[in-house]
Amino acid sequence: MPVANAFLKVENLARSFVLERPVFAGVNFTLDRGEFVCIIGHSGCGKTTILNVLAGLDQASEGHVFMDGRELAGPGLERGVVFQSHALMPWLTVRRNIAFAVESRWPDWSRAQVDAHVRTFVEMVGLGAAIDRKPSELSGGMKQRVGIARAFAIQPKMLLLDEPFGALDALTRGTIQDELMAIVRETRQTVFMITHDVDEAILLADRILLMSNGHDTAGGYVPGGIAEVVANPLPRERTRAGLHHLPGYYELRNHIVDFLVTRARAGGR
């Protein structure tokens, strides 16, 4: 159940697209300030819908979301969002894509202030040499780096990530995971992330929310929800290369995989 002084509180959240068959209901969880939480589950369980509610891009059918003591209603610059699709404006350079967000956040800043701020975050994701290129000149991994830099550049209170590495090859994905971990540790950012990748969740998350799908039973329809919250017991300074050597890794991985195979009830909407 939500904790009274938590940074983010999600209380009794539900979302219905079909009457009497909510995708999920009774969803309760919290995030502490500076915590990295991943949510994992099969397609259709409502993970992205929950993220969209947190981002203010969708409205829950029931329940409330509070962040930093204030109920969320609609989108806001205190939340940065990175989608699986990079969502860059193709006619703008890397510099201008990020500057657009920075100018929205700080409309009174001078051009020089905006440019210096943009450059800081472009360098942070290793794209200094590509700052004046347009998206068509960038690889998929570079585009996602721009999306991450843009989200961090507005210095949000919380970062929302919707499978941001899902379309990338394994090598690029691993490299950007490392970069994301380094930036999160440096900025102490609060992060809520959707992933289908069990190892990605174990690598990045402090806690992992296991989500079940809605399903029909002999007693009627049961909506999806948070079936279990798993604390990651592995040392926080973990690395991709050393992950499988850590005591407790296989037990944690097997527990999550077992949930997905036997208890998540793939199906539903």
List the chain pLDDT tens, one digit each, 269 residues.
Answer: 445 578 999 999 999 998 889 999 999 999 999 999 999 999 889 999 999 999 999 999 999 999 999 999 889 989 999 888 778 999 999 999 999 999 999 999 999 999 999 999 999 888 999 999 999 999 988 998 899 899 999 999 999 999 888 777 777 778 888 888 888 888 889 999 999 999 999 999 999 999 999 988 888 889 999 999 999 999 988 888 889 999 999 999 999 999 999 987 644 33
Q: What distances in angstroms separate CA 88 from CA 65, 137, 259, one per listed residue?
A: 28, 12, 36
> Which pLDDT score, from 0 to 100, does residue 205 have?
95
Q: Is residue 217 part of a domain?
A: yes
CA nearest to 30, candidates 82, 61, 80, 69: 69
> Which pLDDT score, from 0 to 100, does residue 268 have?
39
- Domain range for 40 is 1-72+207-269
Q: Phi/psi of residue 137, each to 5°? A: -95, 5
> Which pLDDT score, from 0 to 100, does residue 4 have?
54
Q: Is residue 59 part of a domain?
A: yes
SS3 225: strand
- Number of residues assigned to the chain: 269
Q: Is residue 15 part of a domain?
A: yes
Q: Is residue 109 part of a domain?
A: no
Strand order in the sheet with 62-67: 24-31, 8-15, 62-67, 70-71
Write the burial class of residue 10 (CB in 10 Å: 0-12 exposed, 13-18 middle, 19+ buried): buried
Q: Both tokens of residue 32?
A: 């502490």
> Which pLDDT score, from 0 to 100, does residue 3 have?
52
The number of folded domains in the chain is 1
DSSP string, 66-108: EETTEE--S--TTEEEE-SS----TTS-HHHHHHHHHHHH-TT
Residue 254: CATH number of its domain: 3.40.50
